[in-house]
Amino acid sequence: MTVQNSSPAYSLLITNELAQTRDFLSKQLQSPDDRLSPFIDYISGLQGKMLRASVLLLSSRLFGGITDIHIKIAAVVEMIHAATLLHDDVIDDGCRRRHHATANNLWGANFAVLLGDYLLSRAFLAAAPLQRNDINQILAETAATICQGEMLQNTCSGDFALTEGQYLDIIEKKTAVFFANCAYLGATISGADENACSGLYDFGLNLGLAFQIIDDLIDIAATETETGKTGGRDFSNKILTLPVIFALGRLSPAGKKELTALFTAQTPPIDRILSILDSVKGIDFAKSQAVQYRQKALQALDRFGSHPSAGALKELISCATQLPI
């Protein structure tokens, strides 16, 4: 197996294991029926950066070798992630993801809902034979927590009184707990003690918070060409993210009124919203918060000193939390 030039530096230590993870994932996603092959093959072909699998594998490597169970659970977390992306795209009405048309765009929202359900069920099916109920429980808890976060986000859509604390609670549930549990799973499967596992959880949680704050900033700031997915989704769906919440707390009554009015427009004007957010340094504030969580994630790894896997995880943090310009 040769390392592709495009492989991020953090993955060099786990090149073979990531390849094995992809192989296992592809086997799980072999279509059970010729008529469904085009759909399942398409999903199978859309493998992303495998950040969550990498977090799991590198976390496990801190405590010894990577086993067959690690590889399989790394594939399972990527399947759960893929299932949530399919349903996210239905909910946000997103057209592009990973530089390809989304499933809902290609085959309609209904089919994408079913495909997501199928993937989630297959993820649990892949985990069941490993005879590890502790793992199954964490996986099911993770999936339920993600849904909880997404439901809260949905109920808070258009709520201009949303606080920073409520926002953080939502992104913790919908994103950060997943990263935290990937790191925890890697460690616990390797037999790390509870204290070490909890440290890894802490690393993952802070990484996840930084990741989501930045993902929200990317949604605002970047174009589809750069990110490969539809931008401005949060505005269209009246989802308040950190720069907006910060701005609403700082703007004059007139500014606040204008911002809320822009949000309720049929097609919210991104440039004007950005200029309002910038006027009170809302974007800068969100960036500074992301940097703080990134710092906490890095600190959680300090205890592992110069362990190569800790170094790789630090590279992963940098890679996954790059601030948009």
Residues near a second copy (CB under 8 A) are 32-33, 35-36, 39, 87, 90-91, 109-111, 113-118, 120-122, 124-125, 127-131, 133, 136-137, 139-141, 143-144, 146-148, 150-152, 154-156
Measured N-to-C along each axis, helices 164-171 and 133-155 cross at an angle, to the nearest 10 degrees, of 140
- Report DSSP letters for 286-316, one per residue: HHHHHHHHHHHHHHHTGGGTT-HHHHHHHHH
CA 212 to chain centre: 7
Residue 222 in contact with residue 194, Cβ under 8 Å? no
Nearer to a second copy, 23 or 117 (CB): 117
Shortest distance, position 170 Cβ to a second copy, whole Å: 10
Both ends of the chain: CA-CA distance in Å? 35
Task: Write out the two tokens for 223.
Answer: 């174009």
The amino acid occupying position 135 is: I
Shortest distance, position 88 Cβ to a second copy, whole Å: 10
Nearer to a second copy, 5 or 266 (CB): 266
Residue 157 to residue 160: CA distance in whole angstroms: 8
Surface-to-core class of residue 8, CB atoms within 10 Å of its CB (0-12 exposed, 13-18 middle, 19+ buried): middle
Nearer to a second copy, 140 or 262 (CB): 140
Nearer to a second copy, 47 or 136 (CB): 136
Nearer to a second copy, 125 or 265 (CB): 125
Nearer to a second copy, 55 or 156 (CB): 156
Shortest distance, position 243 Cβ to a second copy, whole Å: 23
Shortest distance, position 19 Cβ to a second copy, whole Å: 25
| β partners of residue 97 | 100
Nearer to a second copy, 118 or 211 (CB): 118
Shortest distance, position 222 Cβ to a second copy, whole Å: 24
Residue 21 to residue 151: CA distance in whole angstroms: 30
Nearer to a second copy, 163 or 318 (CB): 163
Shortest distance, position 10 Cβ to a second copy, whole Å: 29
Shortest distance, position 75 Cβ to a second copy, whole Å: 15
Shortest distance, position 200 Cβ to a second copy, whole Å: 21
Residue 212 to residue 234: CA distance in whole angstroms: 12
Residue 313 to residue 64: CA distance in whole angstroms: 15
The helix (run of H) or strand (run of E) holding residue 96 is strand 96-97
Residues 6+ apart with CB under 8 A from 181: 138, 139, 141, 142, 201, 204
Nearest to 57 by CA among 308, 254, 244, 276: 308
